[in-house]
Amino acid sequence: MARVSVTYENHIAQVTLTRADKMNAMDPEMIEAIITVGQEVASSDARAVVLSGEGKGFCAGLDVMSFGAMAGQDPQELIMPRTHGDTNRWQEVALVWRRVPVPVIAAIHGVCYGAGFQLALGADIRIAAPDTKMAVMEMKWGLIPDMGGMVLLPQLARSDVIRQLTYTARPIPAEQGERWGLVTSLADDPVAAATELATEIAGKSPSAIRAAKRLISVAESGADRETVLLAESQEQADLVGKPDQMEVIAASMQKRAPVFK
């Protein structure tokens, strides 16, 4: 059975976790499917992505029972190899969406725990239903979050918030997540709201949107001031240097009334 589906319409990739009978909990097959679909979307002509889950919840985390076959394996051999550039396959579940060159919007509902929470953090934007529950769940099992969370969380939340979430494994409501910077906005129908936002983004210049995502990634990487300023200038110079992009810029300026006369 497929674990993830993807459809394309109006330049938007709708990516859906489809293991609803297990609250979209991740087993090894779903982990591989998420990465594969992320790579597919990255090479497509999609201009925006909506990431959601079927059924009653976005994702309940790892399906721990499905990993029983890994018992007895050497943890060093299981976890340490880098399988996708600077990540292992567990980390790539979240970080593949940062490699997708266009904006990714996670539409979250029900539960968003552990691996599912870190998957959502990999999106550019998170829209959650008001009754959504979120948690860094790993401490419940005597583990630490190891699916990219410690790269992604510090970009969004204060250190004390990250520590409380990690140390306690306590679920928080989406409203609290919004106050802490983990949720972008709340919506009764997150998929509809995410699709509406994706449609707006897809209507913008594809070249400029991709450039903006690259530039934001540089700015968030901890690069020094000079590197960020150079990247900013280079992306702009590349855009202005494209004849087709100049046509877009000129057309959009003509639609606006002049501010000064």
Q: CB atoms < 10 A from the CB of 109, how many?
A: 24
41-50, 57-66, 160-169, 229-238: range with lowest mean pLDDT: 57-66
- Please give the pLDDT value at position 246: 64
Same domain, 231 and 186: no
42 vs 241, residue with greater confidence: 42
Q: How confident is the model at residue 254 (pLDDT cuts 50, 70, 90)?
A: low
Tell me what the mean pLDDT of segment 159-173 comes to.
98
Structural domain tally of the chain?
A: 2
Tell me what the mean pLDDT of segment 79-99 comes to.
95
Residue 19 lies in a domain: yes
Q: How confident is the model at residue 64 (pLDDT cuts 50, 70, 90)?
A: confident
Residue 196 burial class via C-beta count within 10 angstroms: exposed 0-12, middle 13-18, buried 19 and up:
middle
The tally of CA atoms less than 13 A away on the side-chain side of residue 233 is 6
Residue 259 lies in a domain: no
Same domain, 70 and 14: yes
Single pTM value for the model: 0.92
- Please give the pLDDT value at position 237: 95
Q: Which domain holds residue 118?
A: 4-202
Please report, rounded to a whole number, the percentage of residues in the chain having pLDDT higher than 70: 92
The enclosing domain of 58 has a CATH number of 3.90.226.10
For 168-200, the pLDDT digits (tens) are: 999 999 999 999 999 999 999 999 999 999 999
Same domain, 219 and 189: no
Same domain, 125 and 221: no
